[in-house]
Amino acid sequence: MTYQDKVILITGASSGIGKELALLLAAEKARIILSARNEAHLLEVQAQCLSLTPHCHVLPMDITDERQVQEGAASAIAIYGRIDVLINNAGVTQRSKLIDTSPAAIRKLMEVNFFGPMMLTTALLPQFKAQQQGQIVVISSMAGLFGYPWRSGYNAAKHALQGYFETLQTEQPIPGLSTTIICPGRIHTDITYSAITGDGSAYGAMDPGQAHGIPVDVCARKIVKAMRNKKKLVLIARMEKVLLWMKRYFPPLFYFIARKGN
Ligand SMILES: NC(=O)c1ccc[n+]([C@@H]2O[C@H](COP(=O)([O-])OP(=O)(O)OC[C@H]3O[C@@H](n4cnc5c(N)ncnc54)[C@H](OP(=O)(O)O)[C@@H]3O)[C@@H](O)[C@H]2O)c1
C-alpha cells in the first residue's frame, strides 16, 4: 500500500520530523497539507515537496489557538474535499527542573503537546465519520511512557496524549479509522532550541544528547512503515527502550539511572 493521492495533513511540518515525513510522503505522490506557525518555513518545505508531488498546500496555524484550529480544520477539508490521514506531530519540549518550573510554563507545554492535537482531532473526527475511514498518527514520545528529569510538563503532556489516543483506539468510534501512536526517543532535530525553560523562555541551544540522537530520516522512515502497517504503538528509540524495560521489571534500577539523566 502506498500513500499516493492520499490527503495527508501534517502539523509541525515546518521542521524536524514533520518536514521529513512530508518529504517522504510527497515522494509517494501524496497530497500534502503542511501546517505550523512559521509560514516562511512552510513555504520552503512546500517548494521541496512540489519537486516530488504536484499536490502540496500550506496551512499556517497555531495549534494552541482554538479558533485557528477550528478554522484550520475546515480549511484543510476544503482543499481536497477530504482528509485521509492526520499526523499530529507539532510539539515543544522542555529543559528545566520541576522545582524551577512555573505553572505558566507547564500550562504552555500542555497547550502545545496535548490540547492542540486533542482539539484538531476533535475538529476532524466528524469528517472521518462522514468518510467512514481515515488514519490518525500521533507523535507522542518515550516521555509519554515514563517520567524523566528536566521534562516535567513535557512528560505530563505526552502521558495525557498517550491516554487520550489509547482511549480512541479502545473506543474505536469509526470502524474504518486507525490510530497509530509513535513514541520516539531522542531524535536529532532542532527541538531543544525551542524547548521551554522554567520561566517559559526558550532554551535556545542544541542539547548534546539530542545531537547524538537517531537521525531524523531514519525516524521518519520507521514512522511511515508503522503507518502503512497500521500499528497501534511503535517505539523508535535506543537506550530509552531499556529504561522502559527497567521501569517495568526492575524499578529500583530505573530510578537510579533516570535520576542521573538530563
Ligand atoms: N526530537 C526528538 O528527540 C523527539 C523525541 C520524542 C518526540 N518528539 C516529538 O516529535 C514531534 C516533532 O518534534 P521535532 O523533533 O521534529 O521538533 P521541531 O523540529 O522543533 O518541530 C516542532 C514542530 O512543531 C511546530 N510547532 C511548535 N509549536 C507549535 C504551535 N503552537 N502551533 C503549531 N505548530 C507548532 C513547529 O513549527 P512552528 O515553530 O513553525 O510553529 C515545528 O514545525 C514533537 O511532537 C515532539 O514532541 C521529538
Exactly one of 3, 154, 193, 249 is catalytic; name it: 154
The whole-angstrom separation of Cα 262 and Cα 97 is: 9
Atom of ligand 1 nearest to the CA of 184: 6
Contact 148, 258 (CB under 8 A): yes
* C-beta 162 within 6 A of ligand 1: no
Residue range 158-216, pLDDT digits in tens: 999 999 999 999 999 999 999 999 999 999 999 999 999 999 999 999 998 899 999 99
Contact 230, 178 (CB under 8 A): yes
Q: Is 154 a catalytic residue?
A: yes
Which residue, by CA, sits nearest to atom 8 of ligand 1? 141
Span from the CA of 3 to the centroid of ligand 1 (angstroms): 23
- Cα 186–chain centre separation: 13
Element at 221 (helix H, strand E): helix 216-228
To test the pocket of ligand 1, the residue of 10, 11, 37, 180 to mutate (highest count of ligand atoms within 8 Å of its CB) is 37
Domain 7-259 CATH class label? alpha beta
The whole-angstrom separation of Cα 66 and Cα 83 is: 19
pLDDT at residue 177, rounded to an integer: 98
Span from the CA of 9 to the centroid of ligand 1 (angstroms): 15
Span from the CA of 70 to the centroid of ligand 1 (angstroms): 20
pLDDT at residue 151, rounded to an integer: 97
Element at 105 (helix H, strand E): helix 103-110
Query: 531524523: which residue's cell?
Result: 216
pLDDT at 2 over 90: yes
pLDDT at residue 55, rounded to an integer: 98
Q: Which of 148, 6, 15, 151 is nearest to 82 (CA)?
A: 6
Span from the CA of 249 to the centroid of ligand 1 (angstroms): 31
The whole-angstrom separation of Cα 188 and Cα 82 is: 33
Q: Residue ranges per domain, the chain?
A: 7-259
* C-beta 214 within 6 A of ligand 1: no
Q: What number of helices (H) and strands (E) belong to the chain?
A: 10, 9
pLDDT at residue 209, rounded to an integer: 87
Residue 12 gets which letter from DSSP? Answer: T
